[in-house]
A and B are shown apart, each in its own frame.
Chain A
């Protein structure tokens, strides 16, 4: 029989108003204690959440991430204090040392405590509960009801291993009793007790809205996790513009924020009827799935059925803002809060690609129908304080060149301020005269991509104009296209020469040569090595490269399979063009494309280089059927004379001389930084930047890969 008592709990200091926290005992279990004064229970309802024996809960820990535990005993003492005994789970971070060499299966894996000793279980006051936690056991033990994929995905945490607190070791198998706890309470309990049906709010994962999941279960999971992510496209939601038809969704904030009250507040603001587990509870679990573009939005608005005092909400909001503000100050006005506590690269996702997009947006006002990414990105653009003239090449992602079907965008430079970069996009089919272009609907601003930013604009336009007037033969068009491309890819502005030469070469010769070798596929084997080179060792690559560079016989090949070796590339060139060369695959670095490899190819003569380039440009050499090779002349950027120090390596100006002397003499000047120094904080800023750049690159390459795969799908022969 349930005894119903409503007890007034003393409000903690943090709550401004005196609040009653609702508490109701559930089913009684038995009496215990020396004098039969202790009453055990099976369940209770605290703050409108029902907790039962063997449920998993968060236990509030000051200033830290909450502990996770399983309730194994509930009772009330004669002095009316309520206690629970909690059997602990360990987060990997708590037992890192003992996890050395052990693979942690999932990001949210935890370990059940087992064995004997401190850390197995504790008695705690019931009020220390910070919320319910959804822990799913994924052990393949046949005593464990296997969870569905959905359940695993939706779980707050998973576990299948135990940690012996006495021996400090990881156990894979569960015995009949784990740390005194009967194994059947370790595994997932039968479904009859759980009514977990999940309603997913339909939303665009990649887009602007967040994915809010409502879990209406008797075990409601609060998941006030500390997962702050930098979002951008969703930065706008800071204003609470979420179109979610329920409520104030509290985003994961870090533990600084957490108080038991907070969870209580949450509950109260949204609950309609706590006794209807089957309904869609306007639960404020807003779990932004990690896969989607992350964000931490702080929304203080709740649209539906707000029964509770707005005061609380505001407070929540304010708190949220506070923590946000606090953290913001370190982030240069980034609109979204940053979590510094657990910044791993996976959780910090900075969307700076959108910055560029935004900037491009600013640039291309007259531009197209395709909205690049939501305009919210302007927020980001503003943040970095770059003037619109710092324009990106990353214009209008969706306005991919490929989509320009049948429209040539050869308009003149329409006074877009300081356009250093623009791209020519042409489709081989049509060629319109320069002046006729304005009639095109999809008019983009000029797009001839220039990397050097010289007056190439003039040159290109002139060329284009000149070229335009020729009869539009397909091969020629391609050749022209290629020329322009080739020009653009010249990094140091040596294009003047090329411009002069190439138009001549392109006419006439290309169609024939291409036809001769086209159509057949051939396997690339080791090329026959010329006799002479067997006699003496080849000079080191650097020399070869430099010589070729000076002669203008250095080519950059792109879109190779990054796994190829230099030798293989040489073979390819040999078989395809019957030219000898020396190649070096560009080594992969932290920010080189994982899909497209590049190689520097040095020829002995400039003519050889030109021949190959032309061939590859006019025709299409498909390597392994999905990769047309792209070749372009390149000249190496001039390297600095002295190695100067790296940006970010600072020294105090006044001490500079002294330091430099020391540096020169010291052989080893490296160390790990300690947390209480300025350099530590600064170092963390750098790591943040590093993590951000990583994420930029990842996004860029992901996007690029998608672009390519999309086009490649148009290939008939795969």
Chain B
């Protein structure tokens, strides 16, 4: 089906069984840890919300760890997760702004309206910028690498969703 494959997407990186199993193992371990910390049946929505945040962080972290540092998005995710304190939020912003001044294709936010953005030389201004925001670590890449990262990111996200859905299904019925 995929006849035109970018050369960077070798199957070894995305062997479905190994990526899935790595992610599943890590995620389950994190889940058990989270459930062990808290009382079994929390009643308040805020507790549920906190648990939700923790689980989400655990999911992203386990996914990024399963990919190691092979990909820019996983590195960016891990970096982001490691420095998730209010103090380092400034560091994150500083990093982002410095990165944005370096890239030439990222549109200037002070330009008025979407029309200017769409008329940029790259011709893909608005969507490209949105994609950069979506994919972690996408700010510092040119379009070519960004599309590469997006493809790998999509694959990993689908794996993540599948595993989490399976787990959720299994444990919602017992």
Q: Are A and B subunits of one complex?
A: no
Query: Which A residues are closer than 8 A to B by beta carbons?
Result: none
B residues whose Cβ falls under 8 Å from a Cβ of A: none
